[in-house]
Amino acid sequence: MSDNVTFARNLVKGKIAETIFAQMLRETHEFTVLEFGYEKIISELVQQGFDIESKAIKVLRTAPDFAVIDHSTRAVLLIEVKYLREMNPTFMLQHAERMRESWNPSYIFLATGDGFYFDDIKTICDNKGEISRLEHSQIPEDLQARYHKILKDFEHED
C-alpha cells in the first residue's frame, strides 16, 4: 500500500474517531460539543497573510479538536481526539508532552480497537503515556458500546 493511501486511511480513521466522540457526547444531552481544532483556524490565518512558520501558527497546530461544555458543572474542557488501533504509551506520552507546552490544561480522548480512553494531559505525562479507560457517569457503558461498535465496523473494512 502506498504512503498516500496509508496516510489517507489514517486521516479517515481520525475523522471517524472525532465524529464518534462528538456524536456520543451529543447523544447524552449533557454536553455542548464545539469544533475547535486548527483545521478550522489555520487556513483562514494563512489567507489573511500570516506566516505559516510563525509561533502563533505553530501553537495552533497542536490545538485540541473540541471545546466541550459540561451542562451540569459549566466546565469547559479542551479535548484532543486520537485514533490508534491499539494502545501505544510511547505515542501517547509524546503527544501529551507536546500538547502540555501550549494547551495545559487539556485532555485526550483515545479511540482504540479495544475501547475508549480519556485523561488529562498532566496525568498522561505523569503516568508515562498510560491513559485511563473512559469512565464517566454521564457517558454510560451501553452508549460507549454502541459507538465503539461503529468504530469496529469501520476498522474491519481494512
| Interval 54-89: pLDDT, tens | 887 778 878 899 999 999 999 999 999 999 988 999
Please give the pLDDT value at position 68: 97
Collect all residues with Cβ–Cβ distance below 8 Å to 107 and sequence separation of at least 6.
64, 77, 78, 79, 80, 118, 119, 120, 121
Residue 140 clears pLDDT 60, i.e. is over it: yes
- What is the sign, positive or negative, of the torsion defined by CA atoms of 22, 26, 31, 36? positive
Give the phi and the psi of residue 138 in degrees, each rounded to 5: -90, -5
pLDDT digits (tens, 9 = 90+) for 4-13: 777 777 778 8
Task: Name the residue range of residue 26's domain.
Answer: 3-36+64-155
pLDDT digits (tens, 9 = 90+) for 107-127: 999 999 999 999 999 999 999
DSSP label at 136? B
Give the phi and the psi of residue 71 in degrees, each rounded to 5: -65, -35
CATH code for the domain of 128: 3.40.1350
In a domain, 53, yes or no: no
Cα gap 64→4, rounded to integer Å: 25
In a domain, 115, yes or no: yes
Residue 158 clears pLDDT 70, i.e. is over it: no
* Start-to-end Cα distance in the chain: 11
Give pTM, 2 decimals: 0.88
**Which grid coordinates belong to 43?**
487556513
In a domain, 52, yes or no: no
In a domain, 73, yes or no: yes
